[in-house]
């Protein structure tokens, strides 16, 4: 799924647009026990309550594509006869009314999910009458030939609030607020099937995880029976590690920044092009970047070998997962320097009198703990 397709479905999850009329689910305590189940009609809730439930579902389709939102692909054999795919299809095709199917899903989630404390499992089914779009991307309310039927599952932590002192303005009085159980934003969730080309793709799903460094391998295996994608946080750590190992003595500040700069430029150019498909780079592309930055052929080949071990020969990477265009940071064991990414040219490294230094050109506006300081000649 691309950003436009995800956004199109997400915008539907508003009270005035959605056709979701009810949500099913259960409450799971910290002992992994189902304490209660619910079948909540949105029609009997207040407008604010209904919007808050839809907001939870909407957040399950939020975040950065390739980081928080990851495409899941099913093999042909799974679609034909896989038990996991069969369950998801049955739930999509009216199975949210079937208690046996619901309990099967609940138990798969509970047995596999790595999450602390209590949580809610929310499940909603929707049928989207996809409007026709012309070449200019303008949607028409009439002329739809496609109905996209799907399920959306959100798993939300439930936490106990602390007591607090409140002030009631109208009464002019102070009162204590009791503790209460509050539903938090989703930690994990999924959409099935995928919405590709603005149509149903039974060979795909969309997986959501709020924490990009957390791997929910057991959950992904239980629900989709597919290899778990490497978390974006782990991709970044691995990329930085193999880059350092590969470059070795050639890992100067200028070279590492040049590599980062080219990847950042790719991200920016892709954004400006408004290309809906997510940006990815192959191992060969990154090797080409290294070569163009002056890295020796030997080090480039070493990078390729390290890449295969860390990611596999056929894995493409999203540049957004391995570099942060908005952050540039230099660290020593005792000092951390944060630099405007557009002004990295203010820094350089030198060896003076046998000691290694990071030099930062400073003109005006230098402060120490908020106090302006003067730099003497």
pLDDT tens for each residue of 251-261: 999 999 999 99
pLDDT of res. 54: 94
pLDDT in tens, 129-161: 988 775 555 555 555 678 999 999 999 999 988
Quickly list H helices, the chain.
3-12, 47-59, 76-81, 83-92, 99-112, 217-224, 232-247, 253-273, 283-292, 297-311, 319-322
Work out the angle between the directed axes of helices 253-273 and 283-292 (0-180°, nearest 10).
130
Q: What is the mean pLDDT of each run of 10 residues along the chain (377 residues)?
A: 91 90 94 94 89 94 90 94 95 89 96 93 93 64 76 94 85 84 93 94 95 89 90 92 93 92 93 87 93 94 94 89 90 91 89 92 87 86
Residue 201's CB is within 10 A of a number of other CB atoms, namely 16
pLDDT of res. 195: 95
pLDDT of res. 262: 94
β-pair type (199-201, 194-196): antiparallel
Q: How far apart are CA 58 and CA 252, in angstroms?
A: 44
Q: What angle do CA 31, 33, 38 make, to 5 degrees?
A: 135
With contact defined as beta carbons under 8 Å apart, do 59 and 10 qualify? no
pLDDT of res. 368: 87
DSSP 8-state class, residue 27: E
Work out the angle between the directed axes of helices 99-112 and 217-224 (0-180°, nearest 10).
160
User: pTM to 2 decimals?
Assistant: 0.84
């Amino acid at each position: 799924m691309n950003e436009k397709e995800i956004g199109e479905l997400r915008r539907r999850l508003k009270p005035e647009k959605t056709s979701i009329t009810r949500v099913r689910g259960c409450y799971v305590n910290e002992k992994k026990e189902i304490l209660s189940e619910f079948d909540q009609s949105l029609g009997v809730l207040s407008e604010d309550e209904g919007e808050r439930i839809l907001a939870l579902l909407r957040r399950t389709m939020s975040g950065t594509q390739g980081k928080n939102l990851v495409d899941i692909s099913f093999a042909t054999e799974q679609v034909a006869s896989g038990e996991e795919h069969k369950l998801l299809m049955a739930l999509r095709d009216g199975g949210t009314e079937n208690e046996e199917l619901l309990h099967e899903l609940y138990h798969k989630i509970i047995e596999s999910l790595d999450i602390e404390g209590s949580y809610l499992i929310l499940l909603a089914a929707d049928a989207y009458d996809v409007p026709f779009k012309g070449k200019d991307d303008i949607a028409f309310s009439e002329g739809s030939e496609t109905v996209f039927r799907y399920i959306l599952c959100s798993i939300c932590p439930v936490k106990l609030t602390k007591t607090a002192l409140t002030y009631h303005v109208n009464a002019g009085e102070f009162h204590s607020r009791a503790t209460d159980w509050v539903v938090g934003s989703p930690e994990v969730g999924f959409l099935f099937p995928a919405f590709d080309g603005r149509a149903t793709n039974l060979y795909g799903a969309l997986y959501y995880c709020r924490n990009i460094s957390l791997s929910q391998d057991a959950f992904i295996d239980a629900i989709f029976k597919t290899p778990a994608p490497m978390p974006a946080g782990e991709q970044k750590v691995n990329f930085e590690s193999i880059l350092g190992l590969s470059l070795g003595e050639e890992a100067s500040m200028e070279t590492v920044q040049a590599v980062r700069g080219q990847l950042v430029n790719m991200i920016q150019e892709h954004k400006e092009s408004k290309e809906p498909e997510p940006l990815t780079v192959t191992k060969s592309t990154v090797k080409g970047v290294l070569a163009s930055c002056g890295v020796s052929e030997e080090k480039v080949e070493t990078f390729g070998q390290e890449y295969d071990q860390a990611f596999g020969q056929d894995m493409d990477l999203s540049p957004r997962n391995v570099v942060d265009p908005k952050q540039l940071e230099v660290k020593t064991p005792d000092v951390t320097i944060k630099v405007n990414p557009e002004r990295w040219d203010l820094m350089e490294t030198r060896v003076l009198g046998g000691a290694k230094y990071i030099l930062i050109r400073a003109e005006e506006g230098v402060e120490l703990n908020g106090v302006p300081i003067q730099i003497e000649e």
